[in-house]
Structure formats: structure tokens, C-alpha cells
């Protein structure tokens, strides 16, 4: 910081301190009278400041939520844009899912809900959805769908 800038900052700080001290010496009635003389309605001004503080507080509290939402939207877009190399026919997709379940039985118990305990009862849509989930998680990387 240059000497000139430092001197300016010190002068500004001194002025602000003197102003603050002069306000502290005034009574509440004197401050209200001064505000009214300048055309300021103290109740409206108080409400405006309360609203500003409330908005600032809300914005601060929402920062993490806003960031989480941005990350979530980026992840969804990334998943949506990901090209999956799944078999074309429903039968081949079902065979691939069966191969994954055979190789990793723990995954089957995690993915199949009570409603779909029987693998054969899964709809083609359920099979495709399960394969997409496994692909997004990287499980299908070790399975070459052309070999299955």
C-alpha cells in the first residue's frame, strides 16, 4: 500500500470514528428528529433495513443449497449426456443383467426390491433402467456386452 493510500485510509477512518462518536452522544429523540428533518420516516427506514438484513441472511444461508443444486444439475446433465453401450435387444439386455447378477450376487440383492424378487418378472424397462444404473456406477465396465 502506498503512503498516500495509507494516509487517505487513516483520514477516512478518523472521520468515520468521529461521526460514530457524534451519533453515540445523541439521544434517541435527537436522532429521530434529525432523520425526520431530512425527510426520512424512521419506521419505513427500520423496515427497509430489516428486510435488507433478512434478505442478506437468507442469501447467506442458501449459498450451500444453491451450490448443491448446481452440482446436482451438472451431474444429471452429465449422466443424461453419457452414451451407454447397452445391448440393443431386450433379450440381450436381460442376459447382460443376468450375467452381472451371476458374477456379483450381492448387487442383485441390492437392486431387486421386494416387488421384483423374481428376476424373470422384471419388465424390459426395469432391466434397461437397472443396466443404466449399473453403468453409471461403473459396474458394467468389466462386462463386455458383446461377449455376453
Q: Can you tell me the distance from the alpha carbon of 61 to that of 50, in angstroms, rounded to the nearest whole number?
A: 16
Residue 148 has pLDDT above 50, yes or no: no
Do residues 101 and 143 lie in contact, with contact meaning Cβ atoms separated by under 8 Å?
no
Q: Phi and psi at residue 76, in whole multiples of 5°?
A: -60, -45
How do the domains of the chain map onto residue ranges? 1-40, 48-81, 90-142
pLDDT at 117: 62
Consecutive H or E run containing 2: none
- Statement: the pTM of the whole predicted model exceeds 0.95: no
pLDDT digits (tens, 9 = 90+) for 48-66: 999 999 999 999 999 999 9
Please report the DSSP string for 14-29 in residue order. HHHHHHHHHHHHS-HH
pLDDT at 80: 79
pLDDT at 52: 96
pLDDT digits (tens, 9 = 90+) for 69-99: 999 999 888 877 777 888 889 999 989 988 8
pLDDT at 102: 87
Q: What is the mean pLDDT of the chain?
A: 85
Q: What is the DSSP letter of 112?
A: S
Residue 111 has pLDDT above 80, yes or no: no
Residue 113 has pLDDT above 70, yes or no: no
Three cell numbers written together for 97? 443383467
Name the more confident of 130 and 36.
36
Amino acid at each position: 500500500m502506498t503512503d498516500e493510500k495509507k494516509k487517505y485510509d487513516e483520514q477516512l477512518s478518523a472521520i468515520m470514528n468521529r461521526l460514530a462518536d457524534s451519533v453515540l452522544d445523541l439521544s434517541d429523540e435527537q436522532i429521530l428528529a434529525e432523520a425526520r428533518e431530512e425527510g426520512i420516516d424512521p419506521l419505513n427506514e427500520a423496515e427497509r433495513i430489516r428486510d435488507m438484513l433478512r434478505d442478506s441472511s437468507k442469501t447467506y444461508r442458501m449459498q450451500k443449497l444453491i451450490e448443491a443444486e448446481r452440482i446436482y444439475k451438472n451431474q444429471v446433465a452429465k449422466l443424461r449426456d453419457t452414451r451407454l453401450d447397452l445391448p440393443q435387444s431386450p433379450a440381450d439386455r436381460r442376459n447382460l443383467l443376468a450375467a452381472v447378477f451371476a458374477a456379483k450376487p450381492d448387487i442383485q440383492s441390492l437392486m431387486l426390491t421386494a416387488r421384483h424378487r423374481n428376476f424373470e418378472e422384471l419388465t424390459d424397462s426395469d432391466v434397461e433402467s437397472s443396466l443404466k444404473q449399473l453403468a453409471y456406477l461403473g459396474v458394467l465396465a468389466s462386462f463386455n456386452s458383446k461377449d455376453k
